[in-house]
Chain A
Amino acid sequence: MVDQIPALLVLAPLFGALLVALVGQRDHRVCFPIAIASLSVTLIGAIAAAQHVFANGPMNYFVGGWEKPLGIGIHLRIDALNALLLIAIATVAVLVTFFSIRRVGEKNAEKTHYFYVLFLLLCLGLFGITIAGDAFNLFVLIEVSSLTSYGLIAMGSSRRGTYAAFNYVLMGTVGASFYLLGVGYLYLTTGSLNMQDIHSILGTNPEIASSKAVTIAFIFILVGIWIKMAFFPLYGWLPNAYSYCPSSTACLLAPLMTKVSVYVMIRVMVSVFGLEWVFVSLGWSHLVVWLAVIAILSGSVLALAQREIKKMLCYLIVAEVGYMVGGAWLADEGLWGMTGALYHILADAAMTLCLFLAAGIFVKRHGAREISDLEGMFKKSPWVMAAFIVGALAMIGVPPTCGFFSKFYLIRGGIDAGHWEYVAALLISSLVNAVLFFRIIEIAFFGNKPAEGHDHSHDDHEEATEIAAPHSAPPVWSGNLPLFASAIIIVLLGVFNGQVVALIRTFLEDLPAVAAHF
């Protein structure tokens, strides 16, 4: 039974989505139970898979039983690198499903079942990306998750959201096409699509590994994934797309899409090309770390300039992506940068979820879209604000939240690798986050309106779609439960950081010849 888990992880949301499509159009009330049930099954499966992986080593699953020769069938793989990420995705998905209860019922009630179908298919795509062991299969699942996210962003958003969704389609498709092109170059030179197979071919044939085509394949795969994760020069689509779409969509996309893309980048670096090839033969680590530094700084500065809460959080995501890409590329001897990046994927998912949920609740209950609207929020909803502060402290990097420890490992990697500019960028970004969030807390607590007066009546016609009519107000717990859960996860991840990092290290230390080369 345990060995069927990799298939189960994608099948549970798939059957959920199909069931919702079949019966949901008649009765919308069945959508939520089906969604929560299928995602819970996935969560249990992910936990069981992780237990199995940490006890018995990686799980390999060959769809259709086509195992030999390697690469004729599709290979699914769960190892220590993605086992924790699977749990994180499933947890976020379950929590956001609770949050989505009220979200969809209001405007466009007749489209509720479409929302849940897309939602479940998006989760399916993310699980599939995470367990894919075949480079082309990864492309197909990237497209599943992208297409559903285009739909989710464009449905029921304001008109600026629709235009943002269009740009997202263009950028997302170019990114996926670049990835596909890179895979094509790899196939052209190695004749295989299986990640392990490509890795061993590149390892045993130095003349192939040093060919121009493989380098170009890497460039295109990397640029394609960077577009998907909104890394520094290519982040233009993200802030508008995530801030003008419905809150429950933003809560699912913001914590997961960029992090899964970061995971894909690390997976490609580690399992396809190999760290030795990436860091030693290619030797671009300085360039990428500098790009990450610019990403962190520009994300932080742009976040300072925002008046809207969600948009500010979006620019913080851009900065966080810089943390992770920079950490992964630090190439320090003990791979502490990579450890920090992998830990930060989990930590950032929890932090972003918490903050976006809080932002969604502010909009929902109080119509507060801008920072200045948060005036007196401590009185209005003290508990929500408390959870928001937990998320904010994690963003700033205050112990014992997980944000502190991820920064600790990233900085350790930066110092080991001698990338002082990266360390400086991390510290500056923490400082900027502190300024940002203390400003918000000040407004929320003391309620003094900032001096620069502006009419926050603009965009009112766009906000109007989001504010709940009193009679259709959702149950309070549907927002609070996921919010508090995410705040607790932030603290727990921080407290148990030693154990989590130990699990991550088991993977990195197993990598062949890691220590020997750096």
Chain B
Amino acid sequence: MLSKIFASIAVAITGSILLYGVSDFPAFGDPNSPASAGVPGSESVSLYFIEESYKDTKVPNLVTSVLADYRGYDTMFETVVIFAAGMAIFAILRVVGNDGEEKRATSLEDSFTNGDHSRIIVGTTVRIVVPVIQLFALYVIAHGHHSPGGGFQGGVILGASFIIIALSENLNAALRRLSEQNYVRLAAIGILIYAAFGVMAQILGKNFLDYGVLEPLLFTDGPEMARSHSMLGVEVGVAFTVTAIMFAIYANLSSRGQLEKGL
């Protein structure tokens, strides 16, 4: 009861402060709001992105170019956040050895051969669907420059394909395809790829993540296309990490850190 009273007070205070500020806002959907068009006397960041970013990077998807190039430093640490979350979950949950719980794993192959037909439809469907999902995931990763998509979205889809395997058969079946050792490695390699693009630029004498200077390494004509290609590279790195950690979070949460059988 006390917590409800406290909650009501906190909500009332916070909510009224926020609503008090709303009347001062530019109207919803106003193209000339400061956020969209800047304030007089200073150059608008948003307008710069809309007008200039295609010239800078030759990437028509503005969200991708801002995400992976202009604010690439943010995005690298966003990937690090995912990586850190994965590591934190392993550190908290992972139980090595079986810690008292009996082994329950009987793989689907066993149940098939044992005549358990209840999962045949699900299992067969998943086997057909998973390659399609994975192909689509690769498309989303690779096509982030031109349509909605990119490393995070594609990585989540790719991670989901492993989770579907784990759901339809069991966790071991999915772990056979992406083992614990490998998903930790994959996650680290993803960020390494990202950071390597940045460090290469440093080695070539520019600032961290200045992709334009990678032109001779990527065999492109002009720094713009070098930026575009580098963005694809870092998106692939992001996808590695996201895939690995998404699956790893599921695997650890569903099996309480035992990595046995799961749900």
Q: Do chains A and B touch in the complex (CB under 8 A)?
A: yes
Question: A residues within 8 Å of B by Cβ?
Answer: 4, 7, 11, 14-15, 18, 21-22, 25, 61-66, 69-74, 110-111, 114-115, 117-118, 121, 124, 128, 134, 136-137, 140-141, 143-144, 147-148, 150-152, 154-155, 185, 187-193, 197, 200-201, 204-205, 208, 211-213, 215-216, 219
Tell me whether chain B's interface is mostly helix, strand or loop, or mixed: helix
Is the pair B69, A64 in contact by a Cβ cutoff of 8 Å?
A: yes
Q: Please measure, in the bound complex, the distance between the C-alpha atom of A147 and the C-alpha atom of B77, giving whole angstroms.
A: 12
Residues of B within 8 A of A219 (CB): 17
Give the contacting residue for A147; candidates B38, B49, B85; CB below 8 A.
B85
Is the pair A64, B187 in contact by a Cβ cutoff of 8 Å?
A: no
**Nearest CB of chain A from residue B230's CB, rounded to whole Å:** 10
Is the pair A73, B21 in contact by a Cβ cutoff of 8 Å?
A: no
Chain A residue at minimal CB-CB distance from B206: A65
Give the contacting residue for A154; candidates B92, B210, B211; CB below 8 A.
B92
Is the pair B88, A151 in contact by a Cβ cutoff of 8 Å?
A: yes
How many of chain B's residues touch chain A, expressed as a range? 35 or more
Interface window among B116-124, B137-145, B162-170, B191-199: B191-199
Q: Mark B56-88, 1 if CB is under 8 A from A, else 0.
A: 000000000000011111100110110111011
Q: Does B45 contact A (CB under 8 A)?
A: yes
A-B CB contact pairs (8 Å), 5 listed? A69-B43, A74-B73, A118-B84, A121-B80, A137-B71
Name the interface residues of B38-64: CB closer than 8 Å to any CB of A: 38-46, 48-49
**Nearest CB of chain A from residue B213's CB, rounded to whole Å:** 8
Q: Mark B195-207, 1 if CB is under 8 A from A, else 0.
A: 1001100100011
Q: Does B181 contact A (CB under 8 A)?
A: yes
Chain A residue at minimal CB-CB distance from B78: A140
Give the contacting residue for B80; candidates A144, A190, A197, A208; CB below 8 A.
A144
Residues of A within 8 A of B48 (CB): 69, 72
Is the pair A193, B87 in contact by a Cβ cutoff of 8 Å?
A: no
Q: Does B146 contact A (CB under 8 A)?
A: no
Is the pair B26, A188 in contact by a Cβ cutoff of 8 Å?
A: yes
Given A140-B77, A191-B46, A21:B70 Cβ within 8 A: no
Is the pair A64, B72 in contact by a Cβ cutoff of 8 Å?
A: yes
Q: A11-B199, A64-B210 are in contact. List 19 more A-B contacts (CB 8 A).
A: A18-B192, A22-B185, A22-B189, A63-B209, A73-B70, A114-B87, A114-B90, A124-B80, A137-B77, A141-B77, A144-B77, A148-B84, A151-B87, A191-B42, A191-B46, A204-B41, A213-B24, A213-B25, A216-B21
Q: Does B23 contact A (CB under 8 A)?
A: yes
Given A25-B184, A65-B206, A190:B39 Cβ within 8 A: yes
Given A192-B45, A216-B18, A111:B91 Cβ within 8 A: yes
Q: Please measure, in the bound complex, the distance between the C-alpha atom of A187 and the C-alpha atom of B36, giving whole angstroms.
A: 10
Is the pair A192, B87 in contact by a Cβ cutoff of 8 Å?
A: no
- Total inter-chain residue pairs, C-beta < 8 Å: 182
Is the pair A63, B208 in contact by a Cβ cutoff of 8 Å?
A: yes
Give the contacting residue for A151; candidates B34, B46, B92, B208; CB below 8 A.
B92
Q: Does B111 contact A (CB under 8 A)?
A: no
Given A11-B195, A63-B207, A64-B72, A211:B35 Cβ within 8 A: no
Given A64-B72, A147-B85, A190:B34 Cβ within 8 A: yes
Q: Please measure, in the bound complex, the distance between the C-alpha atom of A247 and the C-alpha atom of B199, giving whole angstroms.
A: 35
Q: Please measure, in the bound complex, the distance between the C-alpha atom of A188 and the C-alpha atom of B185, giving whole angstroms.
A: 40
Q: Please measure, in the bound complex, the distance between the C-alpha atom of A11 and the C-alpha atom of B43, giving whole angstroms.
A: 31
Q: Please measure, in the bound complex, the distance between the C-alpha atom of A208 and the C-alpha atom of B34, giving whole angstroms.
A: 10
Q: Please measure, in the bound complex, the distance between the C-alpha atom of A134 and the C-alpha atom of B73, giving whole angstroms.
A: 11
Is the pair B191, A188 in contact by a Cβ cutoff of 8 Å?
A: no
Is the pair A7, B208 in contact by a Cβ cutoff of 8 Å?
A: yes
Q: Does B188 contact A (CB under 8 A)?
A: yes
Q: Please measure, in the bound complex, the distance between the C-alpha atom of A114 and the C-alpha atom of B90, giving whole angstroms.
A: 7
**Nearest CB of chain B from residue A231's CB, rounded to whole Å:** 16
Give the contacting residue for B73; candidates A63, A154, A205, A216; CB below 8 A.
A63
Is the pair B202, A192 in contact by a Cβ cutoff of 8 Å?
A: no
Give the contacting residue for B39; candidates A61, A74, A208; CB below 8 A.
A208
Is the pair A144, B84 in contact by a Cβ cutoff of 8 Å?
A: yes
**Nearest CB of chain B from residue A266's CB, rounded to whole Å:** 22
Chain B residue at minimal CB-CB distance from A111: B91
Is the pair A140, B81 in contact by a Cβ cutoff of 8 Å?
A: yes
Given A65-B207, A65-B212, A191-B35, A14:B191 Cβ within 8 A: yes
Residues of A within 8 A of B126 (CB): none
Give the contacting residue for B37; candidates A61, A128, A191; CB below 8 A.
A191
Is the pair B38, A65 in contact by a Cβ cutoff of 8 Å?
A: no
Given A110-B96, A128-B77, A150:B184 Cβ within 8 A: no
Residues of B within 8 A of A63 (CB): 72-73, 207-209
Q: Does B125 contact A (CB under 8 A)?
A: no
Q: Please measure, in the bound complex, the distance between the C-alpha atom of A144 and the C-alpha atom of B76, giving whole angstroms.
A: 11
Q: Mark B208-239, 1 if CB is under 8 A from A, else 0.
A: 11111000000000000000000000000000
